[in-house]
Copies of this chain bind each other. A is one copy, B any other.
């Protein structure tokens, strides 16, 4: 499917310059785009790359307005514009509606006629699958799960019983929604399991990455609000609440009952203690451990800078002696003051 630039501008706005009637059918990086493709430059510093581009059209920031004679669309946010154009040119293929004969759908499950249930998927008793939702091959949907419209579950996703998902939710392969939280009481050295009777409740427009795990609540629910985006291999413990439109990069862990605000951005491999609150709009750097509540927006970091190993060894030895170093400094200050006093 190809679109003219004027069709694109009609949909998404922007200023169209030097249109030559070209139609574009795909997106590509500036350096590799061909005459049927549209490329973008998000920042002024990359404008130097466009001179040699073979792209049929460009999406440029205002500073780049006159950097090229190529047919181009000028917009204040080229990256966002590109996202929209790419979605237009790369619509998610929709499998035909219907239940594959190799799927297993419980007689008391409710599947919209326009939904697709792929081979090997297993849909439990009382589950409901909304309009146009696609359940990929070998997914397991537990009893009484409620799934909204236009959801997309890729292959091998698991949702435990009674979880509730909104519309337009995307779950990637290996994701597990609603597994038991890690709730244990200790009885003279032996662990006694605490039933996890809450659910996972996921809002509209949430995306969950591959092998990300979201545990069900112990008593209350674990809640992922609308528009949250979770990358791969993230752990969300029981009773966590993640505020709307927060994005979290891969390998991050959020411990039980933590509340993360709205519009937060959390870097990869961050760890967040349980029972704390993160304010709206907080940014947390990669590899950062957050041990207490953050009450105001800002960026928070705790990563140790890396060094060449020999240098690291020399420095690391002192890390275990910082308190002694600090005492030596204090002692020096005292001795100097004494010397100075004697003058």
Binding site for B on A (CB under 8 A): 26-29, 32, 77, 79-80, 82-84, 86-87, 90, 92, 100, 102, 104, 118-120, 122, 136-138, 140, 142, 154-156, 158, 160, 170, 172-174, 176, 179-180, 182-187, 189-195, 197, 205, 207, 209-211, 213, 215, 219-220, 227, 229, 231-233, 235, 237, 245, 247, 249-251, 253, 255, 263, 268-269, 271, 273, 285-291, 298-309, 311-323, 325-326, 328-329, 332-333, 335-336, 339-340, 342-343
Beta-carbon contact of A195 and B104 below 8 Å: no
- Point out the residue from B83, B158, B215 that lies within 8 Å of A155, measured CB to CB: B158
Chain B residue, CB-CB nearest to A106: B119
Knowing A211-B176, A286-B271, A320-B305, the reply to whether A104 touches B119 (Cβ < 8 A) is: yes
The 15 listed contacts between A and B (C-beta, < 8 Å) are: A80-B187, A102-B102, A140-B156, A172-B176, A172-B179, A172-B180, A173-B179, A174-B213, A176-B211, A182-B231, A211-B233, A213-B233, A287-B289, A321-B326, A335-B336
Beta-carbon contact of A289 and B309 below 8 Å: no
Knowing A251-B251, A309-B285, the reply to whether A83 touches B185 (Cβ < 8 A) is: yes
Beta-carbon contact of B229 and A191 below 8 Å: yes
Q: How far is the CA of A234 from the CA of B16 in the complex (A)?
A: 44
Number of copies: 3
Beta-carbon contact of A250 and B268 below 8 Å: no
Q: How far is the CA of A32 from the CA of B239 in the complex (A)?
A: 15
Q: How far is the CB of A303 from chain B (nearest CB, A)?
A: 5
Beta-carbon contact of B304 and A312 below 8 Å: no
Beta-carbon contact of A122 and B138 below 8 Å: yes
Chain B residue, CB-CB nearest to A158: B173
Beta-carbon contact of B154 and A138 below 8 Å: no
Beta-carbon contact of A86 and B332 below 8 Å: no
Beta-carbon contact of B237 and A250 below 8 Å: yes
Q: How far is the CA of A213 from the CA of B208 in the complex (A)?
A: 13
Q: How far is the CA of A197 from the CA of B155 in the complex (A)?
A: 18
Beta-carbon contact of B306 and A289 below 8 Å: yes
- Point out the residue from B220, B235, B309, B336 that lies within 8 Å of A336, measured CB to CB: B336
Beta-carbon contact of B245 and A190 below 8 Å: yes
With a cutoff of 8 Å between Cβ atoms, the chain B residues found around residue A191 in the complex are 227, 229, 245, 247
Q: How far is the CB of A244 from chain B (nearest CB, A)?
A: 9
Beta-carbon contact of B311 and A322 below 8 Å: no
Q: How far is the CA of A263 from the CA of B172 in the complex (A)?
A: 31
Beta-carbon contact of A305 and B316 below 8 Å: yes
Q: How far is the CA of A211 from the CA of B308 in the complex (A)?
A: 31
